[in-house]
Structure 1
Amino acid sequence: MDIKTRIIGLTHLFATIFFASALASCNRIFEQEGDCSLHCTLKFRYDMNMKFADAFSNSVSHIEVYVYDTETRALLFKQEECSEKLSAEDYVMELEGLAPGSYDIAVWGGDGLCKEKFILDAPETGHYMTDVICTMQREEGNVKEDVGSLFYGMKRVTFEGTYGTHQETIYLTKNTNTVRVVLQHLSGIDVNPDEFIFKITDENGVMAYDNNVLEDEVLTYFPWSVTSGSAGIDAELKSTKAQTSVSVALAEFTLGRLVTGNNPTLSISNKVTGKTVLSIPFKDYALLVKGNYNKDMSDQEYLDRQDEYNLTFFLDEHGNWLTSQIIINSWHLVLQDSELN
């Protein structure tokens, strides 16, 4: 055996010893996990809200994760969780048996109510990412019940390596909104909620795989709760010095995702006279209180972050809407733009 052959042999020997040592080191480092396999995990975060704070653990009680091949866009597998584990702030989901590579991950989730009110057309096998459609249930174009809270998120991820834990964070957007409408008489007369019809119309009941709102029939949202309540009277508005509160009508809705490309309308009519009390472009009014602090935020981002709208309208002594003022999310607005009336 010549010197060159002996050197090559020693090189192979040292290489074998090195890889054996590396494998042993892996086993020591990950002995708590019991193996040297790749662990791919997901963390979910919902901070697309006006507080810019993660509210996932308090908002989502079930979640469905769809993992797609980035090239073919075919579904590889679906995984879901609907236990109390989701309420833990440190919750992560491990994607079982996932090999290193790139994947498109779509997430749909919400509370227990939304699972009943939305139909997600995403079979567990045999579909492609772009085929997925999420549809709000309706009856002849009418939505009369609370549809709950629906959340969506998507991310392209790459899991690399052959062992260890690789974690990705999926950021969620809330697709539903709570709207409360208060109708109040400036004169102090009690408002009977049974005398009015409240409704909101929009075309936002179908969402695509990427959360874009698709073309849909016009949906008419009716309040799932109409009650009477008591409200304090602003010092600048009350008709008498002695009166401090008044009975009002309160209507509560849950709407689908609001998008800048649509033109939802809020209207209130009188059941007795058939007269339209008011009809306003709801989205435009919602954006009126976007405010200076949010001026760098796009209108769509604001609509996605803001998921609660409280509007108070005032009636004069004749039962007509006093168009010059309105309260939206605690902002008392004096309107001067006739185009918004």
Structure 2
Amino acid sequence: MKYTKIIYNYLAAWLLLFLATLPSCDYIHDDIAPCKHYLRFAYVHNMKFADAFVHEMECQATAKNLRLYIFDAEGKFLRAETIEGEALRTNRHELTLDPGTYRLLAWAGLNETDYEWTTPAAGSSVADFHMSVKRSTGQTVARELLGLFQGEMKLEIPEGGETEQVMPLVKNTNKIRFVIIDTNSGTELSADSFDMLVTTGNGDLSHDNQPVSNTMLTWLPYYKGIETVKDANGTTAYTAICTELNTLRLLDDSGSRLQVRYSEETTPFLDVDLTDFLLLTQMESHKLEAQEYLDRQDEYVVMVYVDTMGGKAHCLEVIVNDWVIRLDDLTLGKEEL
């Protein structure tokens, strides 16, 4: 009896091992479910080093979608899929692809108000894709852009077994908020008392997130306003001029510039290389390469303290993202706006 029980246990263990080796899915047998393959999208290329993709999409006013372009191993276009709504919030997209090698290109946030882009056609190459920011006469942009994200990866679909892979994304839009405070409390200021602009040579991007041309764009504020700060007694302590503008992806050593001018003058009191200026805000502990920092950091707050006594603006202090920038670190230009 004991011998029979040992044989039974052995056969049961062997049967379980055999069943474990059987495929749970494949592409050949009709009686076995086809293998499923899933793709998630992750935006961790930020200063928190944490995935914020779904949150970023949900916070957008419109264009809450992602366009996924699928190419074969040689980069020839096969088809496009749009992910939005509940599928975007769930962020687990099922791919119906045969075993093989593919190239995937993803762009999230594309919309016809802000951008123009090529629509891949059958047989076209991944290298044919490019997008650009819509601009006004004079190559200017003075509106708030919706967030734009890009990703590209190689995908392998195996002969058997389910897979779940992650596609990393980078954010291609930046916002800069200016807060200008006049320390001379007796001066009457309006939202138009100061002019600021940013010029960059990057208004379009290729499939691999590189600039297509070097046409200079001028980015102007999409928001201007006056805000007040009160003291403990509820009395206005000072007023601040607040403006915001945005840019496409910032590239290091690209010749971009930031200029701020008092409306009573023709010469800007702040005229600096934009990326050099923003790179001063990186903490030493980050130890990131310049371009990686510019790609991860997508929002900047620039506080400028000035004195406009006598009809001229004297720059006293500049603070960017809570970091005080020494005026000795800045090259103050003399060109007119």
TM-score class normalised by the smaller sequence: 0.7 to 0.9
Tell me the CA shift for residue 275 of structure 1.
Answer: 4.0
Is the contact between residue 42 and residue 53 of structure 2 (CA under 8 Å) also seen in structure 1?
yes
User: Which residue does 1:278 correspond to in 2?
Assistant: 270
Q: Residue 340 of structure 1: CA displacement?
A: 5.9
Counterpart of 1:260?
252
Which 10-residue stretch deviates more, 55-64 or 77-86? 77-86
Q: Which amino acid aligns with 2:92?
A: V
Paired residues for 1:1-341 under 5 Å: 25-26=22-23, 35-60=32-57, 61-71=64-74, 73-88=75-90, 91-96=91-96, 98-110=97-109, 114=111, 116-140=113-137, 141-162=139-160, 164-188=161-185, 189-231=187-229, 245-294=237-286, 296-316=287-307, 317-318=309-310, 320-323=312-315, 325-337=317-329, 339=331
1:36 to partner: Cα distance:
2.5
Conservation of the 8 A alpha-carbon contact between 2:196 and 2:221: yes
Quickly say closer, same or farther: Cα 1:214–1:86, change in 2 above 3 A. Answer: same
Equivalent-residue separation in structure 2 for 1:158 and 1:26 (angstroms): 19
Q: How many residue pairs get matched?
A: 302
How far is the alpha carbon of 1:94 from its aligned partner? 1.1
* SS of structure 2 residue aligned to 1:47: coil
CA positional deviation for 1:273 = 4.2
How far 1:196 sits from its partner (Å)? 2.6
Match of 1:5 in 2: none
* Alpha-carbon offset, residue 22 of structure 1: 7.3
Report the Cα offset of residue 288 of structure 1: 0.3
Whichever residue aligns with residue 100 of structure 2, its letter is: G
Give 1:133 deviation, angstroms. Answer: 0.5
Q: Deviations over 1:12-61 (max 9, x none)?
A: xxxxxxxxx979954699xxxx9531322211000111111110111122
Coordinate RMSD, CA, aligned: 2.7
Q: Which moved more, 1:189-198 or 1:258-267?
A: 189-198
Task: Tell me the SS of whatever aligns to 2:331.
Answer: helix
**Shift in alpha-carbon separation, 1:261–1:28, aligned structure 2, 3 A:** closer
CA contact (8 A) 1:184 1:191 kept: no
Query: Cα deviations across residues 258-294 of structure 1 (Å, max 9, x unaligned)?
Result: 0113121111234444443322211111000111111
Query: Which residue pairs with 1:236 in the alignment?
Result: none
Secondary structure at 1:313 match in 2: strand
- Letter of the structure 1 residue corresponding to residue 214 of structure 2: D
Amino acid paired to 1:198:
M
Deviation at 1:70, TM superposition (A): 1.8
Kindly state the Cα deviation for residue 139 of structure 1 after the two structures are TM-superposed. Answer: 1.3
CA separation of 1:27/1:154 partners in 2, compared to 1, >3 Å: closer, same or farther?
A: closer
Cα distance per residue 1:169-224 (max 9 Å; x no partner): 10100000011011111222353112332211111111011001222321111111
Q: Please tell me whether the aligned partners of residues 178 and 253 of structure 1 are also in contact (alpha carbons under 8 angstroms).
A: yes
Contact 2:87/2:93, CA 8 A, preserved across alignment: no
CA distance in 1, matches of 2:292, 2:150: 14
Q: Is the Cα contact below 8 Å between 2:205 and 2:211 reproduced in 1? A: yes
SS of the equivalent of 1:134 reads strand
Unpaired runs of 5+ residues, structure 2, are 1-17, 58-63
Q: Secondary structure at the match of 1:336?
A: helix
Percent identity among equivalent residues? Answer: 26
Q: CA deviation at 1:115?
A: 5.0
SS of the residue 1:339 aligns to: coil
1:41 and 1:261 map into 2 onto residues whose CA distance is 39
Aligned 8 A contact 2:224 2:243 in 1: yes
- Structure 2: distance between partners of 1:119 and 1:232: 45
Distance in 2 (alpha carbons) for counterparts of 1:230 and 1:125: 57
Contact 1:63-1:107 at 8 Å conserved across structures:
yes
Q: Cα 1:261–1:214, aligned 2, differ >3 Å: closer, same or farther?
A: farther
> Aligned partner of 1:103: which letter?
Y
Structure 1 counterpart SS, 2:143: coil
